[in-house]
Amino acid sequence: MQAFIASHDLALVGLSYVISVIGALISLYLADFIVERDGRINFGWLSLAAIIFGGCAIWAMHFTGMLAFRMEGPVTYDVSTTLLSLGLPILLSGMGLFVAHRWRDSIVAWLTAGVVFGLGVAAMHYLGMTAMRMPMTMTHDNAIIALSIGIAVVAATVALRIIVHWRGVKRLLSPLLMGLAVCGMHYTAMYGMSFAPMPGAEAGIDYFAGAWSQGTVGFLSGLWVSMALFVGAALAVFRKLSDVDGPDAFAGT
């Protein structure tokens, strides 16, 4: 069975990294409000940070990366699985942020949060791939799967350490590393995948029934990025006008 040859649009690959960094950067700003002055966790801010990170830095990045993926044949995405792939990284991002901030001085908590974040990135990717509907079979290289998950976990763990414990401009390394965690995992995993024609693919199956087109998921990804940018702008105004400012993420060293 002959495998299909696929390629990537490098401009969209670069855009996918920028999108991931934007989501991670805005989540970093939001993270400053997660812990109240009395030490309690503010679940409103935590939830918003998780929604922005899971929805923009992971989910929107993934589907922008899939728009960059060029291959033969029609490709659509099952609606229910695609929506599940959005909810899962938001949930796991929230769990990771909670653990990292609730027990911020615990090395075990930091490592646990990094693993949760990394697994959230990986779970979103592979769930998003299972949402694909196309006249092809998909296979994975198990060694590459392990490597891609390892990249996500290690980079996310280091980034979380920076978020919680670093101050000043150096903290900007965190969104760059989070973008590396998400994109590194995604494109490494794509390298380990192969596609081949599905037997009976010419049977006239309607791959668009109950599914979203690539244009639709691209549009939804754009909406998530727009929402993240709006939240970032609103937060900047909030910090300037509010009498109860959160700590300045980039003040000091």
Q: Which three-class secondary structure state does DSSP give residue 78? A: strand
The strand pair at 136-140 and 132-133 is best described as unpaired
pTM as predicted: 0.85
Residues 6+ apart with CB under 8 A from 127: 81, 84, 85, 88
Q: Of 208, 213, 109, 118, whose CA–CA distance to 164 is shortest?
A: 109
Token pair 């033969």: residue? 72
The per-residue pLDDT for 1 is 41
Contact 68, 186 (CB under 8 A): no
Length of the chain measured in residues: 253
On the CB side of 21, how many CA atoms lie within 13 Å of its CA?
13
* pLDDT of res. 2: 46
- Report the chain (253 residues): mean pLDDT per 10 consecutive residues: 66 94 90 85 92 93 91 83 94 93 88 92 93 84 93 89 76 87 93 78 57 84 89 79 52 45
Q: Is the CB of residue 49 less than 8 Å from the CB of residue 31?
A: yes
| DSSP conformation class of 36 | -
In the numeric block, which tokens belong to residue 66? 């899939």
Token pair listed for 16: 């996918």
Q: What is the pLDDT of residue 163?
A: 78
| Torsion angle, alpha carbons of 37, 42, 47, 49, to 10 | 0
- Supply the angle between the helices 10-31 and 142-165 in degrees, to the nearest 10: 40
In terms of phi and psi (left: phi > 0; alpha: psi -120 to 50; beta: otherwise), the region of 157 is alpha
